[in-house]
């Protein structure tokens, strides 16, 4: 296992990311996590040609200055004879094999235990010693093949077998257990026993390069070419297979292709960075400079033991997490400001930030991006979908979002929450900087917010209980409003009986947030979770989800219902932040998912959690 893999993708601010369990949701995938390595990071040449990994998890890179070794923390460089470049590399039979400039061999420890290059040149006839650069080093079974323009070499662990070209060997690729070699001006050949034989229709490849070959049904193969897209290779010849991504494939200059375990294919391109396509030829994702990749010229792609894709670049290296459960959104893909609220309305995702409201547009292979809804250019704290309407509450009032434009419908200042009443159909409650109110229809399409009882202060959360009582969490503790009138009084306001809980009730006057989980109200505070005992009118520690969350040393900031009965909980214990998905097992809850702390650091202070029925969860926050 490769230790120490955990990289910061962005260094400014990271307002939102999503965790997606379904690899099919490519259209809403944001920026993948990318670790870029500069030449000065690994202290060697810019150009990298190939990558491999050994059984211990160490990463090996063929670099213009030799072989680089990375243990997840530190880099080491192994120099080849004469200080020449390493041009290809692979892992086979417990060894790392390396090709270079008129050099080939493997890595092994010397008498002092230090890794050194061991040359296999002595097994090559003197007349063939000047074979120039090794373009590919390929492991098939127990054999290792080295391909140069001037020879194909097979090492079986004891001796070297050599094939000479009629012209030049341009490329060698493995298709399952088969080796294919493209010979310049002749075409594509396959190694059959000890003989290189032109495949049926192989002349097609006299002027067409190959990036990868993959086994297909009935003994056939599929080849992805540099300029002509997919080709089917069978006993009847070479047949073009048009695909939706043909325009991309023809123009991206594909250099290498790698089959992924999920059936997709990763493409190393010289013009468009990394690309992912599916088995039907649909372009799923591109990772380019515009999305954080260091360089668009990718010479090689390798999948490591953790599922990450290492890229050998013309200027450095990169490790990309794709496909990943996590993707990220920030100003680079359109989302500006800290993310206060997230919701889905009519199938589209909306985010409320200090800059307004943004809607997610599908990526169509490129990372998905947000675009701003015109009409709001101030802080928005709350989003509420009625199914027909999308309401946004913020510093300058309440807005209705319709046809991708926002119109202010209520001028009340500082709206922080909007919720729907279950006991009064058609009624919405609003939380503001000063307390809680009732959103009512007024003339035309406008609305007004009528006050409800005494001022409760800055509202953090609102929820109704089964009796119709309204619970309001504020920065100054918890309030309950009961006996709420059905209609406003002549002065336009509603009346209710209010109760401000205090320490005598077991609820200090500190910030309180509220969530309704499985029909019961839960109260999140800086002193842990609390629940209410109505018969005694007191609050006690709530250990429903675990004793640790009821502890006074656990500050719980967010609680939300997830998919299939799970519960998302977030907060802080000491200096450590946490965000976990809990699932009921018997009579207790256990952790199903724990988002690593280094990922939470990307979004700074967590401001919003939005779980979806399909298991996706969106987290919003801000650095600072």
Whether the per-residue pLDDT at 284 is higher than 60: the answer is yes
Q: What is the mean pLDDT of residues 273-278?
A: 94
- pLDDT given at position 445: 64
Q: What average pLDDT does this structure show over 10-33?
A: 56
Q: Is the pLDDT of residue 48 over 90?
A: yes
Residue 21 has pLDDT above 90, yes or no: no
Is the per-residue pLDDT at 479 higher than 60?
yes
In the predicted model, is pLDDT for residue 6 greater than 50?
Answer: no
Closest CA to 190 of 155, 225, 152, 160: 152
Reduced to 3 states (helix: H, G, I; strand: E, B; else coil), residue 547 is helix
Instruction: Assess if residue 521 is contained within a domain.
Output: yes
Structural domain includes residue 542: yes
pLDDT score for 299: 98
Mean pLDDT of the region 86-100: 97
Q: Is the dihedral of CA 438, 439, 442, 448 positive or negative?
A: positive
- Percentage of residues of the chain with pLDDT beyond 70: 94
Name the residue with higher pLDDT: 29 or 275.
Answer: 275
Is residue 585 domain-resident?
Answer: yes
User: Among candidates 401, 343, 415, which has minimal Cα distance to 372?
Assistant: 401
Domain residues for the domain of 604 are 501-624
Does residue 615 belong to any structural domain of this protein?
yes
With tokens 């979908």, the residue in question is 385
Look up residue 20 and give its two tokens. Answer: 């997606």
The per-residue pLDDT for 427 is 87
327 CB-near residues (< 8 Å, 6+ apart): 17, 18, 20, 29, 30, 31, 32, 367
Report the chain's C-alpha Rg in angstroms: 31
pLDDT, residue 10, reads: 26
Indicate whether 413 belongs to any domain. no
> 322 with 362: CB under 8 angstroms?
no
Decide: 28 and 20 in contact? Cβ < 8 Å. Answer: yes
Task: Indicate the pLDDT class of residue 331, thresholds 50, 70 and 90.
Answer: confident
* pLDDT tens digits for range 371-402: 999 999 999 999 999 888 899 999 999 999 99
pLDDT at position 544, please?
95
Count of alpha carbons within 13 angstroms of residue 550, beta-carbon side: 12
Residue 324 to residues 31, 52, 307, 607, 623, Cα–Cα distance (Å): 10, 21, 9, 23, 23
Compute the distance between CA of residue 177 and CA of residue 526 in angstroms, rounded to an integer.
60
428 with 384: CB under 8 angstroms?
yes
Checking if the pLDDT of 9 tops 60, the result is no
pLDDT confidence band for 521 (50 / 70 / 90): very high
Please, are residues 567 and 517 in contact by the beta-carbon 8 Å criterion?
yes
Domain count, the chain: 1
24 has a pLDDT exceeding 70: no
Q: What is the mean pLDDT of the chain?
A: 90
Q: What gap in Å lies between CA 512 and CA 507, rounded to an integer?
A: 9
What's the confidence (pLDDT) of residue 364? 64
Asked whether residue 195 is domain-assigned, the answer is no
- Binned at pLDDT 50, 70 and 90, residue 8 comes out as very low
Confidence of residue 16 (pLDDT cuts 50, 70, 90): low
For residue range 178-234, what is the model confidence (pLDDT) as tens digits? 999 999 999 999 999 999 999 999 999 999 999 999 999 999 999 999 999 999 999
In the predicted model, is pLDDT for residue 520 greater than 60?
yes
Residue 566 within any structural domain of the chain: yes
Nearest Cα to 53, choosing from 67, 34, 36, 33? Answer: 67
Tell me the Ramachandran region of residue 186: left when phi exceeds 0, alpha when psi lies from -120 to 50, beta otherwise: alpha
What pLDDT is attached to residue 443?
56
| pLDDT for position 14 | 36
Cα 92 → chain centroid: 31
What predicted TM-score, i.e. pTM, was given to this entire model? 0.84
Q: Taking 90 as the threshold, does the pLDDT of residue 17 lie above it?
A: no
Output the pLDDT for position 4.
30
259-266 average pLDDT score:
94
Please give the Cα distance from 139 to 146 (Å, whole number): 9
Residues in the chain: 624
Q: Within a domain: residue 614?
A: yes
Q: Give the contacts of 460 (CB within 8 A, at least 6 positions apart).
A: 416, 417, 431, 473, 474, 475, 511, 512, 513, 514
Specify which residues 254 forms β-bridges with: 269
Alpha-carbon distance of 588 to 564, in angstroms, equals 16
Give me the mean pLDDT over the 577-596 stretch.
93
Q: Is the pLDDT of residue 1 over 50?
A: no
Structural tokens at position 495 = 């009346």
């Amino acid at each position: 296992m490769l230790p120490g893999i955990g990289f910061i993708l962005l260094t400014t601010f990271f307002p939102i990311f999503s965790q997606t369990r379904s690899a099919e949701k490519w259209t809403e995938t944001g920026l993948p996590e990318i670790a870029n390595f500069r030449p000065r990071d690994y202290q060697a040449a810019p150009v990298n040609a190939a990558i491999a990994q050994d059984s211990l998890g160490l990463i090996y890179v063929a670099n213009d200055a030799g072989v680089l070794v990375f243990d997840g923390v530190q880099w080491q460089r192994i120099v080849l004879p004469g200080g020449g470049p390493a041009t290809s590399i692979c892992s086979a039979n417990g060894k790392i094999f390396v090709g270079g400039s008129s050099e080939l061999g493997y890595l092994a420890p010397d008498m002092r235990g230090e890794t050194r290059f061991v040359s296999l040149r002595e097994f090559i006839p003197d007349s063939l010693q000047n074979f120039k650069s090794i373009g590919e080093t390929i492991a098939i079974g127990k054999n290792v093949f080295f391909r140069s323009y001037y020879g194909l070499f097979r090492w079986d662990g004891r001796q070297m077998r050599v094939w000479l070209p009629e012209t030049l060997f341009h490329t060698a690729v493995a298709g399952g257990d088969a080796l294919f070699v493209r010979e310049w001006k002749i075409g594509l050949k396959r190694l059959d026993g000890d003989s290189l034989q032109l495949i049926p229709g192989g002349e097609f490849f006299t002027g067409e390069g190959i990036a990868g070959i993959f086994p297909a049904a009935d003994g056939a193969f599929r080849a992805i070419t540099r300029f002509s897209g997919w080709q089917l290779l069978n006993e009847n010849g070479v047949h073009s297979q048009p695909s939706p991504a043909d325009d991309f494939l023809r123009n991206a200059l594909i250099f290498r292709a790698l089959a992924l375990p999920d059936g997709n294919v990763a493409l190393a391109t010289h013009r468009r960075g990394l690309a992912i396509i599916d088995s039907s030829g649909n372009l799923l994702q591109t990772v380019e400079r515009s999305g954080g990749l260091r360089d668009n010229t990718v010479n090689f792609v390798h999948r490591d033991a953790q599922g990450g894709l290492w890229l050998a670049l013309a200027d450095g290296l990169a490790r990309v997490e794709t496909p990943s459960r996590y993707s990220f959104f920030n100003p680079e893909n359109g989302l500006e400001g800290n993310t206060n609220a997230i919701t889905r309305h009519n199938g589209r995702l909306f985010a409320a930030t200090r800059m307004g409201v943004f809607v997610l547009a599908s990526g169509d292979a490129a990372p998905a991006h947000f675009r701003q809804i015109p009409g709001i250019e101030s802080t928005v704290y709350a989003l509420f979908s009625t199914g027909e309407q999308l309401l946004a509450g913020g510093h300058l009032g309440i807005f209705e979002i319709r046809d991708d434009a926002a119109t202010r419908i209520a001028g009340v200042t500082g709206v922080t929450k909007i919720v729907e009443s279950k006991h009064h159909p058609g009624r919405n409650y609003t939380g503001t900087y000063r307390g809680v109110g009732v959103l009512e229809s007024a003339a035309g399409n406008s609305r007004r917010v009528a006050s409800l009882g005494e001022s409760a202060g800055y509202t953090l959360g609102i929820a109704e209980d089964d009796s119709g009582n309204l619970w309001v969490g504020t920065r100054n503790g918890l309030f309950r409003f009961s006996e709420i009138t059905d209609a406003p009084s002549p002065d336009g306001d509603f009346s209710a009986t209010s109760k401000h809980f205090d320490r005598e009730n077991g609820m200090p006057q500190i910030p309180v947030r509220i969530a309704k989980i499985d029909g019961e109200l839960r109260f999140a505070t800086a002193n842990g979770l609390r629940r209410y005992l109505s018969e005694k009118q007191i609050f006690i520690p709530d250990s429903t989800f675990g004793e640790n969350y009821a502890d006074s040393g656990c500050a719980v900031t967010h609680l939300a219902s997830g998919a299939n009965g799970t519960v998302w909980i977030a907060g802080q214990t000491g200096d450590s932040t946490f965000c976990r998905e809990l699932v009921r097992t018997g009579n207790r809850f256990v952790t199903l998912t724990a988002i690593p702390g280094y990922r939470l650091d990307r979004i700074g202070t967590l401001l919003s959690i939005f779980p979806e029925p399909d298991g996706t969860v969106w987290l919003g926050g801000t650095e600072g």
